[in-house]
Every structure is written in C-alpha cells, then in structure tokens.
C-alpha cells in the first residue's frame, strides 16, 4: 500500500518528464533557424532607403556603419548570415498565361580572407531554416532551389572556372552556367564595392546576370545567362529570396557586406513579349544561346513585310501625284474670255426688177 501511495505521489513528476520528452522530440522534428529574424530597420526611426522594408537579418548578419549597410559575416571562422526577404511571392498567380518576372539589384563588397563568397538564393518554404552555417555559403544545398553565386574559391568538382567567377546553380552547387569576372577587370574579394543586376523574363524563360562597379551604369551585355522555366519549377508555391554568405574554411576571415538591395516583381502577359530580353539571341531547351539567323523564316512575317512595303509604295505614289497636280495647276495659262456685248444688225430692202422682151421672155 505504501509503495502504491508513493507511485501516486510521483505520477505528476513522471508525467512532466514524459511531456517534456515528447515536446523535445516535436521541436527537434521542425526546422530550426540559426537565430530569430531581426528587422533591418529596427534600430533606427527612419527606414533605410537602400533596402526594401521586408528585409530581415538572420545568423551573424548585422547592421554596420551606423545602420547604413549590413555585414553578413564576421571576420571569424564558421561565421554565416542571411538577408531574408520575409514577404514571399509566386511565379504563377492563378492565371497561367501571365507568369511573374523579376528584377533585382544589390551593391556588395567582399574583403580578402578565403571565404565562400556571396549567394543570391531562391527557394520555396522556409528559407531561414536552410541557414545552417555548414556547406557552401552557409546554405543547405537541397533540391528545388536557384542560386546565383559570387564565388571566391576554386573547386573543380563544382564546375568552378576560377576563384573569381559568377555561377548559376539549380538544385545543387554544381554551376550550370559560369561567367568569368576577371574578363571584366574586376575582383570579387578585393574589397571594392560592386553592383549586380539580375533579371528573369518569364516569356523567354531567360535569366541574365550583369556586374559592374557601384558608380557605373548598368552594363548592356550580361556576364552570363541561363535558360530556365521558374514558373514550371515552382508554379504557385510561395518562394522566398535571400542573400547569404559564410566562412567555412579553417582560416577564413572574409567580411561580406551588402550596401543596398531592391527586389521588384512584374506580371506581363505572354502576348506582349514573344522574343527574349536580347532579341539577337534565344535559348534552346538546354540553356544554350542560339543565333536568330538560324531560325526558320515565318510566312506571316514575310506577308506582313510585303503589305507594309506595298502600303508605303502606294502612299509615296499618292504624294507624288498630289504634288504634281499642284505644280501643274500653278503653271497652266488659260485664254482670256471677251466680255459679251450686244451686237446691232441692220436690215436693208432690195428691189429686184425683172424685164420682159416682146415675146414675154424674162431678161
């Protein structure tokens, strides 16, 4: 009986331990972010005009320079951070004929120090849970993500061109398209402020990346481009976008900084755009650039050209005839008309005398 009483007295304690155990299992099964997101404009009364209002800071990302810019990483080993746009977007909003396109631009710098570099990443679901501090750029490289990497390391297994390149990653960190930054006479981790422009056109399914100095205008030609159907990849799922960086090497001390970041969406019907962003080239199904000269001649294009030429010819002929008529009418002389006056007629009476001879014959 005593033992039974002790068991009853200990039952609440045993139940509390059991509840805590199952609660721990439940929390561990969900994604755990490295830290709670912090609003970028939280520490100052006036929002930073260089950043969108929906941007939050995760991990080691922190404001610097009096709140004017963000340091994503610290100059220490295993430092990682993320600028996260907390407002998701969809590439398809119900109407399948008008998928979303986007344009984004940001200014950044990376100091020397052997870090991973910088990554602009798109992914469905909780992007913050992918910030683990391990792996390239501090992001878990799972399936169904798009990354534009600004890589300062040379890794042959990842299809890296050199330690100064931009790559397009889809579903893994093996780059499918690579641009050589050295050809622009730029160095990603020189500490110099650079600016990147990234555009995705849904009608041509083309992604273009441009890079230049922060005080220069937008370049005409992209450093690299890739053909991809993002609306087919994610359809109507909520997609998040962020900028991440990490120092995963044993001797890393690189500081990755972002000075401005703006992200814009646009929905344009397909009927308004039938050619890529660059009308001189288009992409095949594997993302390769092909010249438009190799495309077949469209009969409708030929017919439209003939109608246009015929219309122009008829217009020119009409103008020539009209001007000729004006010139001729100015130089033609017409005879003067005499005024009509009454005319007097005079009538005279003439007498005719007929004489006859003795025989009665008229003379």
The full DSSP string for 293-330 is GGSPPPHHHHHHHHHHHHHHHHHHHHHHHHHHHHHHHH
The band of 309, judged by pLDDT with boundaries at 50, 70 and 90, is confident
* pTM (predicted TM-score): 0.64
pLDDT surpasses 50 at 97? yes
The band of 31, judged by pLDDT with boundaries at 50, 70 and 90, is very low
- 39 falls within a domain: yes
Residue 167 lies in domain: 30-272
pLDDT of residue 360: 61
Domain count of the fold of the chain: 1
The band of 105, judged by pLDDT with boundaries at 50, 70 and 90, is very high
Residue 27 phi/psi, 5-degree rounding, is: -65, -35
Q: Which residue has the tokens 């041509």?
A: 204
- 315 falls within a domain: no
- 215 falls within a domain: yes
- 129 falls within a domain: yes
Across the range 123-143, mean pLDDT stands at 76
The band of 336, judged by pLDDT with boundaries at 50, 70 and 90, is low
Question: What is the C-alpha end-to-end distance of the chain, expressed in Å?
Answer: 194
The CATH number of residue 65's host domain is 2.60.120.200
Question: What is the token pair recorded at 189?
Answer: 């981790």
- Among the ranges given (69-73, 138-142, 199-203, 343-347), the one the predictor scored with the smallest mean pLDDT: 343-347
Across the range 201-215, mean pLDDT stands at 95
pLDDT surpasses 60 at 200? yes
Across the range 176-184, mean pLDDT stands at 94
The residue with greater pLDDT, 26 or 303, is 303
- 20 falls within a domain: no
pLDDT of residue 313: 86
The band of 272, judged by pLDDT with boundaries at 50, 70 and 90, is very low
The band of 180, judged by pLDDT with boundaries at 50, 70 and 90, is very high
The full DSSP string for 156-211 is GGGT--SSSEEEEEESSSS-SEEEEGGGGT--TTSS--EEEEEEEETTTTEEEEEE
pLDDT in tens, 39-78: 776 555 567 888 888 889 988 999 999 888 999 988 887 7
- 243 falls within a domain: yes
CA separation for the pair 52, 170 (Å, rounded)? 26
């Amino acid at each position: 009986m005593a033992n039974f009483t002790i068991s009853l007295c200990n039952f609440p304690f045993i139940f509390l331990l059991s509840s805590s155990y199952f609660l721990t299992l439940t929390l561990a099964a969900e994604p755990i972010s490295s830290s709670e997101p912090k609003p970028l404009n939280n520490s100052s009364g006036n929002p930073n005009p260089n950043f969108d209002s929906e941007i939050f800071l995760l991990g080691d990302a922190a404001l610097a320079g009096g709140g004017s810019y963000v340091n994503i990483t610290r100059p220490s080993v295993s430092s990682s951070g993320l600028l996260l746009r907390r407002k998701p977007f969809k590439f398809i909003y119900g109407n399948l004929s008008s998928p979303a396109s986007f344009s984004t631009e940001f200014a950044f710098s990376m100091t020397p120090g052997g870090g991973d570099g910088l990554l602009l990443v798109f992914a469905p679901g909780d992007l913050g849970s992918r910030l683990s501090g391990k792996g390239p750029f501090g992001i878990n490289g799972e399936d169904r993500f798009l990354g534009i990497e600004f890589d300062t390391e040379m890794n042959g297994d990842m299809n890296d061109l050199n330690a100064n390149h931009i790559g397009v990653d889809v579903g893994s960190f093996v780059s499918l398209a690579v641009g050589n930054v050295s050809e622009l006479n730029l160095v990603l981790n020189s500490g110099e402020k650079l600016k990147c422009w990234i555009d995705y056109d849904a009608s041509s399914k083309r992604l273009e990346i441009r890079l230049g100095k922060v005080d220069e205008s937008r370049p005409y030609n992209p450093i690299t481009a890739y053909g991809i159907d993002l609306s087919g990849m994610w359809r109507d799922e909520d997609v998040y976008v962020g900028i991440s960086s990490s120092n995963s090497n044993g001797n890393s001390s690189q500081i990755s900084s972002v000075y401005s970041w703006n992200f814009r969406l646009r929905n344009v019907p397909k009927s308004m755009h039938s050619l890529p962003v660059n009308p001189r080239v288009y992409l095949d199904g594997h993302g390769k650039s092909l010249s438009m000269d190799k495309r077949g001649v469209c009969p409708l294009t030929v017919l439209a050209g003939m109608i246009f030429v015929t219309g122009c010819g008829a217009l020119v002929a009409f103008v020539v005839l009209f001007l000729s008529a004006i010139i001729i009418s100015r130089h033609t002389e017409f005879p003067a008309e005499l005024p009509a006056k009454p005319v007097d007629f005079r009538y005279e009476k003439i007498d005719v005398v007929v004489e006859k001879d003795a025989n009665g014959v008229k003379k």
